[in-house]
Homo-oligomer: A and B are copies of this chain.
Amino acid sequence: MDRPSFDSQSLGRRLNELLVLSLLRRAPMHGYQVAVEVEERSDGFFTFNHGTLYPILHRLETEGLIAGEWSDPAEGRARKAYALTEAGRTYRAEGLREWTMLVGRLSPFLDDEAANDKVSDGAA
For A15, the chain B residues whose CB sits under 8 A away are 8, 11, 106
Contacts of A85 in B (CB 8 A): none
The answer, yes or no, to whether A43 is at the interface (CB within 8 Å) is: yes
Task: Verify A47–B109 contact, CB threshold 8 A.
Answer: no
* Per-residue B-contact encoding for A18-49, CB less than 8 Å = 1, 0 else: 11001101100000000000100111111100
Query: For residue A94, which residues in chain B have a CB less than 8 angstroms away from its CB?
Result: none
**Contact among B38, B41, B44, B110 for A99, CB-based, below 8 A:** B110
Write the residues of chain A forming the contact surface with B, with a CB cutoff of 8 angstroms: 3-6, 8-13, 15-16, 18-19, 22-23, 25-26, 38, 41-47, 52, 96, 99, 101, 103, 105-106, 108-112, 119
